[in-house]
Amino acid sequence: MALLKGHGASVAVVWTRDLTGQNHVLAVLPDRLQATVQAFLATIPATLQATVKRVCIDMWDGDAGAVAAALPDARIVIDRFHGAVQYREAFDDRRKAECRRLNAARSPERAVPTAELRPLLRREWRSLNPDQQGRLVELFELTPTLASAYVLRTLLTAIFDHSPDRATAQTRLQGWTERVKAAGLSCFDQFLNTLHNWQDSILNYFDGWHTSGFVEGLNNKLKLLKRRCFGLDDPVELFRRLWLDIEGPRLWA
């Protein structure tokens, strides 16, 4: 979490969720370097370390290295939403390139209405009404490449939504990778590299479908706290205020 603009003043906030579904803030670390995170994890008593079954992180080598070193028995789970951001942005880049290509040879009167189509392309097909689907079909007839990218993005989301177990997900992801290569699409190259480099941790998601999605809502609380305090640049003070906001209502209700 960035305390100030830029990347020079970031802290690492460590959360946990207990068996009752309650969220707890464990620490606010002064930075997110591997050594800092690993030193904190090493302070967890051995009896509690044994109870940590999985750690959900984004694709940050420092966090992964810290967890592997300090909690070797815990499974590292790459949060599916961070992967979704990457492959959806890849589709968005393809959309922009294709719309620019189409409009380059058209007069302003015949230009593709990119601003109107953008929100439709970001939604899933089943959420569109027949009129909206018809507008996308017209666009896809002009650019089959974008149609292929849209289908592949939808298929990948379906794999994460509906794969019942790790083995099935692995087979389906391999099939999806082969379809991308067969289609000759380069927009997903970065995600393919991510899938290769983080495959084991990504597949760990399908063993129970655990994510750190609840943290996103808590991060919004953290951002509101910063605004309420007109900025916070002290990790210790930030932890105190977070603890009061999260734990206080339960303790003194």
Domains and CATH numbers, the chain: 12-79+211-251 (3.30.420), 83-199 (no CATH)
Q: Are 241 and 221 in contact (CB under 8 A)?
A: no
Mean per-residue pLDDT of the chain: 89
- 243 CB burial (10 A radius; 0-12, 13-18, 19+): middle
Other beta carbons within 10 angstroms of residue 195's beta carbon come to 22
User: Between 169 and 240, whose confidence is greater?
Assistant: 169
pLDDT band at 87 (very low <50, low <70, confident <90, very high): very high
* Residue 11 confidence (pLDDT): 84
Q: Are 41 and 71 in contact (CB under 8 A)?
A: yes
Using CA atoms, how far apart are residues 80 and 186, in angstroms rounded to an integer?
A: 22
User: Between 251 and 67, whose confidence is greater?
Assistant: 67
Can you give the pTM of this predicted structure? 0.83
Helix (H, G, I), strand (E, B), or coil: what is residue 33?
Answer: coil
* Residue 7 confidence (pLDDT): 55
pLDDT band at 253 (very low <50, low <70, confident <90, very high): low
DSSP letter, residue 9: S
Give percent of the chain with pLDDT exceeding 70: 97
Using CA atoms, how far apart are residues 35 and 31, in angstroms rounded to an integer?
A: 10
pLDDT (average), residues 69-83:
90
- 215 CB burial (10 A radius; 0-12, 13-18, 19+): buried
105-113: Cβ within 8 A, 24+ apart: 112/139, 112/142
Q: Are 52 and 67 in contact (CB under 8 A)?
A: no
* Residue 6 confidence (pLDDT): 58
Helix (H, G, I), strand (E, B), or coil: what is residue 29?
Answer: strand
Report whether pLDDT(172) > 90.
yes
* Residue 76 confidence (pLDDT): 94
Of 1-5, 47-51, 111-115, 205-209, which gets the smallest average pLDDT? 1-5
* Residue 141 confidence (pLDDT): 95
Residue pointed to by tokens 């969720």? 17
